[in-house]
Amino acid sequence: MQTSERTGRLIVLEGIDGAGKTTQAERLEAHLLAQGRRVVRTAEPTGFPTGVALRAALGGKIKKSECEMAALFTEDRIAHNIHPTEGLQALLAEGIDVICDRYYYSTLAYQGHATDYDWVKIMNLLCPEIRKPDLCIYLDLTPEQSLERIRAGRASVEIYENEETLGRVRRAFLRVLADLAATDRIAIVNAYRSPDEIAAEIAALADSLA
């Protein structure tokens, strides 16, 4: 694969469910395309076999322990990075910006607080085949607002989608972001506002990248 003169940027959107990641990923994609950049939107879990298994477990169809889930998420993330044509590394090398809905911050927040945080952190941050994002944007929303949006948007909820769990996960996310603040470029964005206000702030953050 021929390498582009301009390396793409990996921008991750994180947040508890219902925070508006999909909407803001679409808005950011449109902003970058308007600048003449090439863009791919992706998400974790992926569409690879590991991601399919994860989605089945998240939907309660297959029972997995938290350690199994942490390992599966990490395996899926490695596949997401190294796939020869659809992987993050290949796309970025071609000069394509990648917007990713969820990354290792989610695994640290969900499985890290349910198992051993340091183990999950080591698996992800010390893995040579898992790339560090150029920017992580965390859309901050309360659990109550999250559930309201989730219930308004679809007929069923996943195993992690209840107020008590979302509250724990939000607190875990904020601990993760504080823990990684010295090594990762992270921005916490107030997601209580209108989509236009949020999109404008995210666009400015993306534009600040080299």
Digits of tens for pLDDT over the chain (210 positions)? Answer: 344 467 899 999 999 888 999 999 999 999 999 999 999 999 999 999 999 999 999 888 989 999 999 999 999 999 999 999 999 999 999 999 999 999 999 999 999 989 999 999 999 999 999 999 999 999 999 888 888 877 776 555 555 567 888 888 899 999 999 999 999 999 999 998 999 999 999 999 999 996
The answer to the question of residue 145 being in a domain is: yes
The answer to the question of residue 172 being in a domain is: yes
Torsion sign, CA atoms 203, 205, 207, 210? negative
The answer to the question of residue 2 being in a domain is: no
The answer to the question of residue 5 being in a domain is: no
The answer to the question of residue 108 being in a domain is: yes
How many domains, the chain? Answer: 1
How buried is 50 (Cβ within 10 angstroms: 0-12 exposed, 13-18 middle, 19+ buried)? buried
CA distance 51 to 102: 13
Structure tokens at 61: 């169809």
The answer to the question of residue 1 being in a domain is: no
CA atoms within 13 A on the CB side of 75: 13
pLDDT at 2 (0 to 100): 43
Place of tokens 């090594």: 183
Residues 6+ apart with CB under 8 A from 5: 95
pLDDT at 157 (0 to 100): 55
pLDDT at 41 (0 to 100): 98
The answer to the question of residue 4 being in a domain is: no
Please report, for the domain that includes residue 95, its CATH number. Answer: 3.40.50.300
Indicate whether this model's pTM tops 0.85.
Answer: yes
Domain that holds residue 130: 10-207
